[in-house]
Structure 1
Amino acid sequence: MDSKSMLSVLLLICCAFAENAPPKGRGFAGIKIENVVTLDSAASATLKSGLTTVFFPIIYTLVFVVGLTANGMAVWVFLFRTKKKHPSSIYMANLALADLLFVIWMPLKISYHVNGNNWIYGEPLCKILVSFFYGNMYCSVLFITCLSMQRYWVVAHPMSTQKKNNKVAIGVCLSVWAFIWITSIPLYLYDHTVKIENMNITTCHDVNVIDANDPQSSVKHALFYFMFMSTVSFFVPCIVIVVAYILLLKTLGDNVVDSTAAKSRKKAIVLIFVVLVTFVICFIPSNFMLVLHYALLNGGEVNNGYGVYITSLCLTSLNSCLDPFIYYFVSDEFREHVRNTLLCRSNRTVEQEKATFSSMKYSKKSKSFVSGSSNTESSHC
C-alpha cells in the first residue's frame, strides 16, 4: 500500500467517526464571558463524537505499543550493541530518543480521550504533554534532515574524512536539542487546560479561549509562534531534504556502471520513500493545518475545519512508528544488531562466529570451508 492509499484509508476512517459531529462552528474556541468559558453546540458535539473518544485512543494506543517497542529497541541497539559510532548512527539514535521521550506520555493522552476529553491530571502535566508533542514533531523533522544530508555527503564525498566526524554530529545534535527546548518555552507561558462549564469537563490544548472583548489578542501570539516554527523547523528543512535527495540521486545516477552505486541507489530510493510517507501522513497536514487554524481563528472565521485540524495532529504521532523504518532501511548494521538482539545473541558470540568464519578457507576439492590452521578440520557452509 503506497502513501496515498494509506492516507486515504485514514481519512475515510476519520470521516466515519466524525459523521455525527456538526461541521459548522467557530472551532473549539471557547467564548469567555465574566470568567466563564462555554462552547457552542457544534464544538460540544465534536468533543462527544467517536472521532475524539474512539478513533484517537485507537491511534494513540497503536503509537504507544509500536513506538515504545520499536524505539526502545533502537535506543538499546545504538547505545549497547553498536560499537563503532558514526554520524548516521548518532542522528538515528537521537531521533529514536526523541520518539521514545514522546511515546512514554501517550497513556495520559489515551486516558484523556477515553474519559470524554476530560483532563484530570492538572495544568503542569498538560503543558509537559503539549511541549513533548510539538517538540517531538519538530525534533523528528530536524534529525531526519540531518540524516538526509549525511547520506548525501557520504555518497558524494566517499573519501572525505568529515563523513566520519562524530564531533560535528554530536555538536549538531546538541544544537537541535537546545533549539527545541528553547522554542518550547512559550508553550509553558500560558495555560492549556480550559474548564468548560456547560459540559463539566476540562480540556487540554483542545479549546482556545477567546475573550469576547478582544478576540484577536487571544490567538495572535499562538499564530506567530506556529508560523515561526512551521517555517524554521518544517518548511526550511523540507527544502533542504528535497535538495539533498535530488543531489543524492544525481550523484548515484552518474555512477550507474558501478554495482556498489546501484545498491546504494536502491537503498536511497527506499529511504526517500519512507521519508516521503512520513511527511505526507505526519508532518505536512499538521503544519499546514496549524497555521491555517490559528489564522482563521485570528480572522474570526465561523468554519475552520476543526475536525480535520485535530485529526492531522493525531496522525502526527504516527511518526514515532514510522521512524524505525528509516533506521532499518538506512543501516545494514542496525538490521544485523536487531536480528542478533531478537535471537538473544551477544556481541561476543557474534564476533567469535565472524572470527571463526574469517579464519576458514574455501577448498574447491572438497567444496567446503577448511580451517586455516588445520587441513584435517572442515565445516560445511
Structure 2
Amino acid sequence: MNNSSACSQLQPSTVSSVALPIIYILLCIIGLFGNSLSQWVFLTKIGKKTSTHIYLTHLVTANLIVCSSMPFMGLYFWKGFKWDYGPKACGLVNFLGTLSMHVSMFVSLLVLSWIAISRYATLMKKDSVQEITSCYEKIFYGHLLKRFRQPNFARKLCFYIWGVVLGLIFPVIIYYSVVEAMKVEDKNCYTKQIEVGGKFSQIAGLIGTTFMGFSFLIVLISYYSFVSHLRKIRTCTSIMEKDLTYRSVRRHLLVIQILLIVCFLPYSIFKPIFYVLNHTEDCEQLNYLVEIKNILTCLASARSSTDPIIFLLLDKTFKKTLYNLFIKSYG
C-alpha cells in the first residue's frame, strides 16, 4: 500500500486526459447552438408565455451557463495534470468551471422540479370541477398547485432560485478555491486535494447530493400522483375527450423523470460513496474513484446539451414555431 501523500499526485488515464476533453467540447458546441436557438424562440417568437415557458427560459439560461463552462472543464482535464498549481490557469479554470457547473446544475434541478409540479397542476385544473376529485385534492390545488401555473409566480420563483443557489454555493466555491485548494502539497493542478476537496466542501457536497435526491423525489411523487389520479378518472365518460391532455402531461413527467434517472441519479448515488472511499491509501483505487466521479459529472452536465431535443418532443408551441421558421427559410 502507498501512503496518502504518495497518492496526492493522480495519474489520469486516456479517458480523463483525452476522452473527457473531447466529449466536453462536443457537448459545448451542441449545447450552445441548441440552447441559444431555444432561448431565441422562447424570448422572441412566443407571444403569450405560460408558466411552463418561463420555467423553460430559466432552464435554458442554466443550460447555457453549463455549456459555457464545458471548455474550462475540458481544458482542465486536458492540461491539468501538466500544470503547476497557481492563481493563473489552474486556479481560474478550476474556479470558473466548478462554480458555473454546480450553480447551473442545482438551478436546473429545481426548475425541472417546478415544471413537474406545474404539469401536475395542469391536470388538476382540468379535473378540479369534477365530483370524482377529492376534497383534499381541491384544497391542495386551490391553495398551492395552481400558483405554479401562474406566470408572475413562475417569474418570481425562478429569480428566487437563482438568488438562493448563488447565495449558498458561491461562498462554498470561494472557500474551496481560496482556502482548501491552497493546502495542496503537490505542485501540480490535477491532485487529490483538488479532486476530493476538504472537509467543509465535502459536507457541502453531501448536502447538495441530498438536495438532488429531494428534487428527484418531487418529480417521482408528481408522476405517481398523476398516474393515481388518472386511474380514478378512467371510469368517467369524458375521459376520451381529455386523453390527449392526460397523455401530454404524463409524457412531460415521464421524460423529466427519465432525465433525472439517467443523468443525475448515478452522480447522486456515487458522490457519497466517493466521499467515503477516497480516504483509501491504494493509489490505483483512488484514481479509479476520481475518474468515475468525473465521468458521472460529465454525464450529469450532458443533460444541458440535450434539452433542446426534449423541448421539441414536449412543447407543441416550440415545435410549431421552429417548423414555421424552417418553412419560411427554405420554402
TM-score, normalization by structure 2: 0.79
- What residue in structure 2 maps to residue 247 of structure 1? 225
Asked if structure 1 preserves the Cα contact closer than 8 Å seen for 2:209 and 2:268, the reply is yes
Is the aligned partner of 1:156 residue 2:124? yes
**CA deviation after TM superposition for structure 1 residue 114, in Å:** 3.0
CA distance in structure 2 between the aligned counterparts of 1:163 and 1:143, rounded to whole angstroms: 11
| Structure 2 counterpart of 1:72, one-letter code | S
Which of the pair has more CA radius of gyration? 1
CA distance in structure 1 between the aligned counterparts of 2:206 and 2:184, rounded to whole angstroms: 28
Change (3 A) 1:133 1:164: closer
Give the 3-state SS of the residue equivalent to 1:324 in structure 2.
helix
What does 1:229-240 correspond to in 2, within 5 Å?
A: 229-231=208-210, 233-240=211-218
**CA deviation after TM superposition for structure 1 residue 320, in Å:** 0.7
Change (3 A) 1:197 1:288: same
State the structure with bigger RCO (CA 8 A, min sep 6), 1 or 2. 2
Residue by residue over 1:340-371, the C-alpha shift from the partner in whole angstroms, topping out at 9 and shown as x without a partner, is 233446xxxxxxxxxxxxxxxxxxxxxxxxxx
What does 1:329-344 correspond to in 2, within 5 Å?
A: 329-344=313-328
Is the aligned partner of 1:324 residue 2:301? no
CA distance in structure 1 between the aligned counterparts of 2:318 and 2:119, rounded to whole angstroms: 15
**CA deviation after TM superposition for structure 1 residue 260, in Å:** 4.3
Asked if structure 2 preserves the Cα contact closer than 8 Å seen for 1:88 and 1:150, the reply is yes
CA distance in structure 1 between the aligned counterparts of 2:10 and 2:314, rounded to whole angstroms: 45
- What residue in structure 2 maps to residue 190 of structure 1? 176
| Structure 1 counterpart of 2:294, one-letter code | I
Give the 3-state SS of the residue equivalent to 2:89 in structure 1.
coil
CA distance in structure 2 between the aligned counterparts of 1:342 and 1:310, rounded to whole angstroms: 38
**CA deviation after TM superposition for structure 1 residue 278, in Å:** 1.8
CA distance in structure 2 between the aligned counterparts of 1:135 and 1:118, rounded to whole angstroms: 27
- What residue in structure 1 maps to residue 298 of structure 2? 314
- What residue in structure 2 maps to residue 99 of structure 1? 63
Give the 3-state SS of the residue equivalent to 2:48 in structure 1.
coil
Asked if structure 2 preserves the Cα contact closer than 8 Å seen for 1:149 and 1:241, the reply is yes
- What residue in structure 2 maps to residue 352 of structure 1? none
Q: Percent identity?
A: 19
Change (3 A) 1:195 1:281: farther
Give the 3-state SS of the residue equivalent to 1:202 in structure 2.
coil
- Aligned counterpart in structure 2 of residue 295 of structure 1, from 257, 276, 283: 276
CA distance in structure 1 between the aligned counterparts of 2:227 and 2:149, rounded to whole angstroms: 21
**CA deviation after TM superposition for structure 1 residue 67, in Å:** 0.8
CA distance in structure 2 between the aligned counterparts of 1:25 and 1:322, rounded to whole angstroms: 42
Change (3 A) 1:301 1:290: farther
Q: Structure 1 stretch 233-242 or stretch 70-79: which is displaced more?
A: 233-242
**CA deviation after TM superposition for structure 1 residue 153, in Å:** 0.2
**CA deviation after TM superposition for structure 1 residue 53, in Å:** 1.7
| Structure 1 counterpart of 2:298, one-letter code | C
> Which structure shows the bigger proportion of residues in strand conformation?
1
CA distance in structure 2 between the aligned counterparts of 1:150 and 1:69, rounded to whole angstroms: 27
- What residue in structure 1 maps to residue 108 of structure 2? 140
Asked if structure 1 preserves the Cα contact closer than 8 Å seen for 2:148 and 2:154, the reply is no
CA distance in structure 2 between the aligned counterparts of 1:164 and 1:240, rounded to whole angstroms: 16
- What residue in structure 2 maps to residue 262 of structure 1? 243
Asked if structure 2 preserves the Cα contact closer than 8 Å seen for 1:52 and 1:117, the reply is no
Q: Which runs of 5+ in 2 are unaligned?
A: 129-141
| Structure 1 counterpart of 2:189, one-letter code | T
Asked if structure 1 preserves the Cα contact closer than 8 Å seen for 2:59 and 2:111, the reply is yes
Q: Structure 1 stretch 83-92 or stretch 108-117: which is displaced more?
A: 108-117
**CA deviation after TM superposition for structure 1 residue 314, in Å:** 1.7
Change (3 A) 1:268 1:98: same
Asked if structure 2 preserves the Cα contact closer than 8 Å seen for 1:270 and 1:329, the reply is no
Is the aligned partner of 1:220 residue 2:188? no
CA distance in structure 1 between the aligned counterparts of 2:233 and 2:57, rounded to whole angstroms: 30
| Structure 1 counterpart of 2:150, one-letter code | N
Residue by residue over 1:86-112, the C-alpha shift from the partner in whole angstroms, topping out at 9 and shown as x without a partner, is 111100110011000111122222233
